[in-house]
Amino acid sequence: MTITYEDRHMRSNPRPRPWLPEVEGEYVYHVTHRSNLPSIHRYGLAPKVPEDMDDTKAVYVFPSEDDMQTALGQWFGERIEDLIEEGIYTDDWVCLGIMLEGIDWDSCISDVDYEIAILHTVEPQYIRVLDIPV
């Protein structure tokens, strides 16, 4: 019997999905500019293509705080610096924690160990602003 991509990746299983990076703790982590908070508090986080990127429409999260901090010290931090230098954003970024029960794990994908793409809107009641330096 041949198992298709859809069979492997969209079957109902307990979270986290076996092909996703391991999630420890009660949150996955998302970084955003503080100016986005009023909209996020009202509407949640909707999937979108990251600015200046050609990528999948999703809410991008890190499976751990360590993964987030590593990215901020490398490629993601450089991207934020570029956005600040271009005058698109100020230096006022925040870390959001997305509660695991707010994620439909059947609607998530990943092809790297440090990031998960959530393909659905994350409702506001599952989002917390965390006191973690960005």
Number of domains in the chain: 1
Read off the CATH number of the domain in which 43 is found: 3.20.170.30
Q: Looking at the domain assignment, is residue 15 inside a domain? A: no
Instruction: Give the pLDDT confidence of 100-112 residue by residue, as tens digits.
Output: 999 999 899 998 9
Query: Taking 70 as the threshold, does the pLDDT of residue 11 lie above it?
Result: no
pLDDT exceeding 90 applies to what percent of the chain? 67
pLDDT at 52: 65
CB atoms within 10 A of CB 74: 11
pLDDT at 24: 81
pLDDT at 65: 95
Strand stretches in the chain, DSSP E: 27-33, 59-61, 93-99, 108-112, 115-118, 127-130
Instruction: Give the pLDDT confidence of 79-134 residue by residue, as tens digits.
Output: 999 999 999 888 999 999 999 999 999 899 998 999 999 999 999 999 999 999 88
Q: Looking at the domain assignment, is residue 7 inside a domain? A: no
For residue 124, the 8-state DSSP code is G
pLDDT at 98: 98
- CA 40 to chain centroid: 13
Q: Looking at the domain assignment, is residue 96 inside a domain? A: yes
pLDDT at 111: 87
pLDDT at 46: 96
C-alpha 95/C-alpha 36 separation (Å) is: 12
Q: Looking at the domain assignment, is residue 121 inside a domain? A: yes
